[in-house]
Structure 1
């Protein structure tokens, strides 16, 4: 290949990567929006039974878990089919599914209908979470994988910020319906762009034996085809969830699921109940939503900074550290600090909970081979959602019991300590022990794909 062709391919590859990162990030903005918008409107539902019916704190927690049950189902379905039919198809279907279900939620008038639509919305969200991680892992350069992953998954807290801002601007009463109707925007704004600009992964196509299509996509996008290395018998021949049960992946898969469960329990518990808990502490609606903004804003900034450190020193050490930060911040929230200090602690808690989950997705999406990557991310998102399902329920039980708000924060701090311990026991991959500087020197953006598959 001459120098001019090389420059042309580099330009095409950079353009392809930018489009993939942008599309994946926007899809996850609406994941985060869906997560936080429910927490933002829970106080309205508790005050006004005319909206969807009489609601107790315990019922509100259970209702918040319906979407998370859907996320678990959607993630597992996407993991089961994503490694077989490809990332692009799953992404396109999930965008349509999520948008339609979210939009219909705006017209619900009773608890049963609203709960069913929350579950259906979650199915689309779960599929998007899985495919976003798989796409970034297969297109991003190895020495910047954690950074690009953090950019994409920072869409989740960014969506939380968007939901909190719109909730501040919305009126009480039926104002919540407009918030849910806005969640259908990807059907109009995102789907056409994804149809035009989202390619299938050449690495996945090659791994599944579609050599001609892989070469065509490589020529069109400038993404180099990886070198095909001899496969290991037994474990390497297995695709999707079957590969996760092999000796190579069984223990790490269990521990990664527990890591994700800890972080998602904290993420969903705080995003659902933080406005209510702070309201019980004497802060009105506006102040309570400011805490929600701070939680997700801290996750965005802290997650991006932590990802740069993770690219240099490895994600596991950074994840353990952010879990510790979450435990410390949540414990300190029980001490009745001045308002500015409370905001700072909530921001740190955002880094240690939502930001930690961003880093976990990055670790998981790079931990598995191409033929089992979607299944690995699906396990992380699906099994981890068991913790997410428990978050609103645990928060609802603590709030409904009439206990002091400090008790909830102490329980959440204990979960963060558990997450730290689990993280320390996850076996590290051999490829992760290579210093970042060496990786970047040998695996530049224009040619990273070949060496990645060799590592895998």
Structure 2
């Protein structure tokens, strides 16, 4: 594997996103424990709302990510984001009331909302064009690794110590990761160039072999190349709106399923240990889908592979609703993970590769911010079905429908603007390649 494919930037983004993935995806493992926690006496609808507040925070953080990265630099934005959501996890572990718990979950979301688009922008900038999807996937597979870690730890911590121990465990790794980021994470050459520090930018570009991958902007970006307005200039409006809808639907399914899968399978008659193991398999599927999907995207184009990911999520959830044998359920949950978390990681590459460097973090941040509406709605959406007494099949089919719609929106993106990471980009930041078959 080349230096560009797995560099210190990829390693540190992988570590940060692993921590973030744990913090975000562990919530589903503690839902049964929260429902059984007598001092708070929570009902399913309230637990769903507590799961959704992290999405509200992520929306706020993602909207602010572009401005923060432009003002502070991507390096400091990443470090601050990890520090913020890690401290908030510690607050969750000691929260004396549901209200304080929910406030801390909101802050976790703010930090995560800043981290994701900033990390994606860094990974794209520090990648080669012919391995771009794989490089971004290597970093963002950390979200699935974090979810896998949450699933494994939950099998021990939740039955033995309850939900608080899971939150405390999410804070501890930051004590190692943050010093490494401070010591070894470089600044974005694009940010340094924008600040007139061209010598420093050139040194970093040379060290990481970026000369062949730096986008040529034709001079200092104008005001129309920055901010949300830039997402609708140069004929980008239709694709921008499509990205927003795709991200919203993908995150609705991802967070809804991750939050309610253990509880849904528990209500279907599976013991707690088996129900929690489904969440572990879901996150393994996310890692497999991210890496496998990225390899296919670099070879065949990212649009058809993203479409396939949405369809995998829809079909697998619909088939789980038919209550097949337990061995088949595990396979289908694995495929569901490939189609949810794996598809969202592909979307980060899809979106980031489309926009020029001058508005890339903004494009990713706003798309993820809109997507956070799905993350907000997803847990509450599932909670409403549980509270209404809907059967397991109805609950699963309710999440299959948005995935089908997401596949349709992806198909309708103009073929002439399909992206493929193996080709050079134009000044608009998109890859002009033939429609993948």
TM-score normalised per structure 1: 0.88
Q: Is the 8 A contact 1:202 1:223 kept in 2?
A: no
Of 21, 31, 35 in structure 1, the residue corresponding to residue 24 of structure 2 is 35
Give the conservation status (yes or no) of the 8 Å contact 2:303–2:418.
no
Q: Is the CA contact (8 Å cut-off) linking 1:231 and 1:237 kept in structure 2?
A: no
Contact 2:19–2:174 (8 Å) recurs in 1 = no
2:218 to 230, 235, 252: 230
Distance in 2 (CA, whole Å) between partners of 1:205 and 1:187 is 27
* Aligned mate of 1:128, from 115, 130, 142: 115
Residues 362-401 of structure 1: matches in 2 within 5 Å?
362-401=349-388
Q: How does 1:188-199 map to 2 (within 5 A)?
A: 188-199=175-186
The question of 1:49 aligning with 2:38 is answered yes
Conserved 8 A contact 2:56-2:376: yes
1:336-347 map, 5 Å = 336-347=323-334
Matched, 1:311 2:287: no
> Helix, strand or coil: the match of 1:394?
helix
User: What are the equivalent positions in structure 2 for 1:22-421 lying under 5 Å apart?
Assistant: 22-50=11-39, 53-172=40-159, 174-207=161-194, 209-224=196-211, 226=214, 228-230=216-218, 237-421=224-408
Alpha-carbon offset, residue 328 of structure 1:
1.0
* Matches of 1:233 and 1:168, distance apart in 2: 51
Does the Cα contact within 8 Å between 1:71 and 1:385 map onto a contact in 2?
A: yes
CA distance in structure 2 between the partners assigned to 1:293 and 1:15 by the alignment:
30
* Partner Cα separation in structure 1 for residue 362 and residue 267 of structure 2: 41
Residue in structure 2 matched with residue 4 of structure 1 by the alignment: none
Alpha-carbon contact 2:13-2:119 (below 8 Å) kept: yes
2:298–2:420 Cα contact (<8 Å) kept: no
Between the aligned partners of 1:408 and 1:306, the Cα distance in structure 2 is 27
- CA pair 262-430 structure 1, distance change in 2 beyond 3 A: closer
RMSD of equivalent CA atoms: 2.3
Cα distance change, pair 29–311 in 1 and its aligned pair in 2 (3 A): same
Tell me if structure 2 keeps the 8 A contact 1:83–1:371: no
Q: What does residue 20 of structure 1 align with?
A: 9
* Unmatched tracts of structure 1, length 5 or more: 1-10, 440-450
Offset of 1:390 from its aligned partner?
Answer: 0.6
Structure 2 length-normalised TM: 0.92
Pairwise CA distance, 1:428: 5.3
Aligned partners of 1:130, 1:433: CA distance in 2, in Å?
Answer: 20
How far apart in 2 are the matches of 1:127 and 1:106?
Answer: 22
Q: Take 1:428 and 1:214, find their aligned partners in 2: how far apart are those partners? A: 35
Which structure's CA Rg is the greater one? 1
Q: Which runs of 4+ in 1 moved over 4 A?
A: 219-222, 231-234, 428-431, 451-455
Separation in 2, partners of 1:171, 1:409 = 25
Could you list the runs of 5+ residues in structure 2 that have no partner in the other structure? 430-437
